Homo-oligomer: A and B are copies of this chain.
Amino acid sequence: MSYKVLVIGGVALGPKAASRCKRLMPEADITLIDENNYISYGGCGLPYYISGEINNLDDLRATPYHTIRDPQFFADMKGVKVKNQTRALAIDRAAKTVLVKNLVTGQQENLPYDKLVLATGAKPRMPPVPGHDLQGVHSVTRMEAAGIIRQACQEGKVEKAVIVGAGFIGLEVAVALADMWGVECSVVEMMPQMLPGVLSANFGKMAEHDFAQHKVALYADEKVLRLEGREGHVCKVITDKRELDAQLVIFAAGFLPNGQLAKEAGLEVAPFGAVVVNEHMQSSDPDIYAGGDCCAIPNLITGKVGYLPLGSLANRQGRIIGTNLAGGDSTFAGYVGTWAVKLFDMSFCGVGLTIERARKEGYDAVSVAVEQLDRAHFYPEKNMMSLELVVEKGTRRVLGMQGACTAGDALKARIDAVAGVLQYSKPTLDDIANLEVAYAPPFASAMDIVNAVANAADNVLAGRFNTATASEFMELWKNRAENKLFFIDARPKAGSKALAEQYPDAWHGISMEEIITGAVEIPEHVDVALICNTGLRSYEAELVLQRKGHTVINSMGGMQAVNKIGGSV
């Protein structure tokens, strides 16, 4: 009797688990089914096919040697039988069989298993708005849709597009359409900001500004009500605030885990529909494994069950399941939530909780943002980087960090360093202040920005640094008639001159040097709002002003942060 493994789902985790198991246990009899035609493709690459950066759709399902990963490839090279266009209808756990249906012939059969793997993935959340079934309305999870979208662009059929959802895929697709095809794009997002849940409202404005610079509109806090068509093809999107012409509408409003099959088989499923697994990636039935986008996994920061549908997690979990299928003992502890996205000029990257999410989870948290160059300030090539660190107040525990920079790899380096610490310990601020990252002038500052943001947070917690985000600072400036704050621009005169001349009674160009030496008198008893270029000089000035009895509020990241959110005095 051969050892039978059945895998349902053939995109990322399924093929990985099947191939790994077969490598370790050549005698295993492994079958993989998938209801679609294409299997084993890099779904995360679809926006780059739409943009044209990837020339051929088949590149997404090819090995680095351009061999297409089709059923024949898996049969010949991996020893895995693949039945595509075959849907799993029901699991009979007692008989250990899965009833499947060939979608081409309509034929049904029961496939036996000793071990079953659920790699059923997730489906795009499609709000049931009228018109969602018109032509020209897509999601970007299947290769077929990406092909249709690119062709429509190539043929010049798309002048205007609306993307519903400002998450990773929505933004990547908007960049692809606007940057490469010159399509006039609008992004409609129900939540009040870009990248909700992964970026703070503060840094979300940096992403929004990057889009605005490239003439892509964000309509946040806005809901799509219906789509209108002409001759069966979409032509208009009606939101609760406006009407938008569009020949192409893309829904990228998140994912729903495909846990139905598991649920119907009586397996434990989380309230949001994902299959619950233990650290061996086994469902509540130890003969049934689940992983990837269909399954719930522990969030290592909050300790709660969470969900993170990412191709990278699916691949790593696939290897773990493959090892365990073959009798091994491999475990997956959970996720800390690292991510990266490249927009137009800026890349964004993060790990763990945002400040908003942390507070929602009940943490008494604070976030601190800094602007600093990514390498030694005397090194010729360098980029201004923004990092925001989220910290629990009492314990000083670090809950997350997010960042923005034009240099994506340099940003990734800072985020991944903190991600590594978060994954295997519970770091405090002091641990990040001492984080030992690789240093030489072409790579980092001697006091690197990842240390600097922790140092700044330390100063905030100690009450030495009373902060305003760039947008809070601009809000204070706007309302200066009411709040009566005394605004000081602590940059050298050359930096503050233009604004000080423009607002002679309101914007005071008093340099850090003048504040420290007391060369310029500051009216007694005034409350001060301080800003400089990046926040370094204003911090030194703040200490002096506080000692003189002033209440000070200090702009985090200075004018650099203000510029990145598109603010202007």
Residue ranges of A at the interface with B (Cβ–Cβ < 8 Å): 12, 16, 23, 26, 42, 44-45, 48, 53-54, 59-60, 62, 64-65, 76-77, 168, 172, 310-316, 319-320, 330-333, 335-342, 347, 349-351, 373-374, 376-380, 407-410, 412-421, 423-425, 427, 430-431, 433-444, 446-448, 451, 455, 464, 491-492, 512-513, 516-517, 533-534, 536-537, 540, 543, 547
Question: Does A409 contact B413, Cβ atoms closer than 8 Å?
Answer: yes
Residue of B nearest to A308 (CB): B436
Which residues of chain B are within 8 angstroms of A534 by Cβ–Cβ distance?
Answer: 64
Question: Does A380 contact B54, Cβ atoms closer than 8 Å?
Answer: yes
Question: Does A434 contact B333, Cβ atoms closer than 8 Å?
Answer: yes
Pull 17 A–B residue pairs with CB atoms less than 8 Å apart, ordered by A.
A23-B540, A42-B441, A54-B379, A64-B377, A65-B533, A312-B444, A316-B436, A340-B440, A340-B443, A347-B443, A350-B438, A412-B413, A412-B437, A415-B438, A417-B420, A419-B436, A421-B424
Assembly CA distance A216 to B347 (angstroms): 37
Question: Does B419 contact A76, Cβ atoms closer than 8 Å?
Answer: no
Which residues of chain B are within 8 angstroms of A172 by Cβ–Cβ distance?
Answer: 440
Which residues of chain B are within 8 angstroms of A48 by Cβ–Cβ distance?
Answer: 378-380, 441-442
Question: Does A340 contact B438, Cβ atoms closer than 8 Å?
Answer: yes
Residue of B nearest to A455 (CB): B319
Assembly CA distance A373 to B322 (angstroms): 24
11 extra interface residue pairs, beta carbon distance < 8 Å, beyond A339-B439, A416-B437, A418-B420: A23-B464, A62-B378, A312-B444, A315-B447, A333-B434, A340-B440, A349-B443, A350-B438, A409-B412, A409-B443, A416-B438
Most buried by B among A310, A423, A435, A451: A423
Question: Does A65 contact B437, Cβ atoms closer than 8 Å?
Answer: no
Most buried by B among A12, A338, A516: A338
**Nearest CB in chain B: distance from A534 CB, A:** 8
**Nearest CB in chain B: distance from A228 CB, A:** 34
Assembly CA distance A381 to B425 (angstroms): 34
Question: Does A76 contact B377, Cβ atoms closer than 8 Å?
Answer: no
Assembly CA distance A134 to B183 (angstroms): 68
**Nearest CB in chain B: distance from A485 CB, A:** 24
Assembly CA distance A413 to B419 (angstroms): 11
Which residues of chain B are within 8 angstroms of A59 by Cβ–Cβ distance?
Answer: 378
Residue of B nearest to A349 (CB): B438
Assembly CA distance A42 to B377 (angstroms): 10
Q: Which of B332, B340, B417, B536 contacts A64 (CB 8 A)?
A: B536
Assembly CA distance A512 to B64 (angstroms): 13
Q: Which of B77, B315, B424 contacts A540 (CB 8 A)?
A: B77
Assembly CA distance A330 to B455 (angstroms): 12
**Nearest CB in chain B: distance from A323 CB, A:** 9
**Nearest CB in chain B: distance from A311 CB, A:** 4
Assembly CA distance A168 to B443 (angstroms): 14
Q: Which of B26, B310, B416 contacts A413 (CB 8 A)?
A: B416
Assembly CA distance A442 to B12 (angstroms): 18
Which residues of chain B are within 8 angstroms of A413 by Cβ–Cβ distance?
Answer: 409, 412-413, 416
Assembly CA distance A351 to B65 (angstroms): 32
Question: Does A441 contact B316, Cβ atoms closer than 8 Å?
Answer: no
Question: Does A443 contact B311, Cβ atoms closer than 8 Å?
Answer: no
